[in-house]
Amino acid sequence: MTDFEFVDDTQVPEIRRGYNVLYCEFAKALRRNSGRWAVWPKELKNPATASMTAGNINRGKLVNFPKGEFEARSRGQVVYVRHVGGVA
């Protein structure tokens, strides 16, 4: 039988590359302000990209935004996101 090593959450490094740094900080800020809507921190070029971004957040496709923890909506080229539950 194989033994697996388990570690505390604090030992696992966060993904911090390119925009992931920005998105990680944005997700943390949303958690601190749970329930409040905020504008997505990156400018989006068109409504289709905004819609796709909101959909990816809602489906949990972005590493810093687990499914069920965040809600997103798009209007035009703007995406609004809020923390709705889960990890505090």
The per-residue pLDDT for range 20-35, each reduced to its tens digit, is 788 988 999 999 999 9
pLDDT score of 10: 62
Work out the average pLDDT over 34-57: 95
Work out the average pLDDT over 43-62: 95
83 exposure class (CB count in 10 Å sphere: 0-12, 13-18, 19+)? buried
Cα dist. 4→1, 25, 63 in Å?
A: 10, 31, 24
| Type of residue numbered 24 | C
pLDDT score of 20: 77
d(CA 57, CA 72) in angstroms, rounded, equals 6
